[in-house]
């Protein structure tokens, strides 16, 4: 498996990974699968500033990850929101870990200090056909800590879902954090 930069030509294959998350799960709170044109635009806009990467195995994309702005104001420049999706037949195979390790390294080299993850969540003993807490457990294994829970904040499939925020610090928070190098990221 290799980790590579996503290109606009990857949009259709990546959308194919994302679509089941929209259609069958509460992992994504989108109701409709985006059009290929809309999805391509998302890739173009995000990758102009932040890492957007893919895991490739035997010539096929088996997962992808990216970061986006946490908030639009200047004071938030050192914080991002992260996202990872793995093809259904490659879950629990190390793809997510490899993507996140590369993503976090690229973000740190850009000058990003905080990585935040917004995750759909089942509080308490609830069970559901459309959501597990696997994403929370994955982020915990990657060193993220839960910092907040928003109850009944997403409605999908006729049910209310909680949302949690988890965070990981990538660097020290000194008096002069330096400028973030937007658009200047690479992967090894």
> Residue 4 above 80 pLDDT?
yes
Query: Does 36 map to a domain?
Result: yes
Among residues 63, 60, 12, which one has the least CA distance to residue 37?
12
Say what the pLDDT of residue 13 is.
98
Alpha-carbon distance 71 to 173, whole Å?
18
Enclosing domain of residue 151: 2-169
Rounded-to-integer distance, Cα 153 and Cα 44, Å:
29
Mention every residue, 6+ apart, whose C-beta is less than 8 A from residue 101. none
- Mean pLDDT, the chain, rounded, equals 95
Band (23; pLDDT cuts 50, 70, 90): very high
- The pLDDT of residue 33: 98
Model pTM score: 0.95
CATH number, domain containing residue 61: 3.40.630.30
54 has pLDDT over 90? yes
Q: Is residue 184 part of a domain?
A: no
Do residues 9 and 54 touch, judged by C-beta distance below 8 A?
no
Q: How many domains does the chain fold into?
A: 1
Query: Does 163 map to a domain?
Result: yes
CB 55 within 8 A of CB 98: yes
- Please give the Cα distance from 65 to 83 (Å, whole number): 5
The answer to whether residue 85 is domain-embedded is yes
pLDDT in tens, 91-112: 888 999 999 999 999 999 999 9
């Amino acid at each position: 498996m290799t980790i590579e930069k996503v290109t606009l030509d990857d949009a259709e294959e990546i959308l194919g990974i994302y679509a089941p998350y929209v259609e069958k799960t509460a992992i994504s709170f989108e109701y409709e699968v985006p059009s290929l044109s809309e999805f391509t635009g998302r890739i173009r806009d995000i990758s102009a500033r932040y890492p957007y990467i893919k895991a490739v195995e035997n010539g096929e994309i088996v997962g992808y990850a990216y970061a986006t702005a946490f908030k639009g104001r200047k004071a938030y420049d050192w914080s991002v929101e992260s996202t990872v999706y793995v093809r259904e037949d490659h879950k629990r195979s190390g793809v997510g870990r490899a993507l996140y390790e590369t993503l976090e390294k690229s973000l740190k080299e850009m000058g990003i200090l905080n990585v935040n993850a917004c995750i759909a969540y089942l509080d308490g003993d609830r069970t559901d056909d459309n959501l597990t807490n696997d994403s929370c457990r994955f982020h915990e294994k990657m060193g993220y800590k839960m910092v907040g829970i928003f109850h009944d904040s997403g409605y999908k499939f006729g049910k209310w879902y909680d949302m949690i925020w988890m965070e990981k610090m990538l660097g020290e928070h000194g008096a002069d954090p330096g400028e973030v190098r937007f658009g200047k990221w690479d992967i090894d």
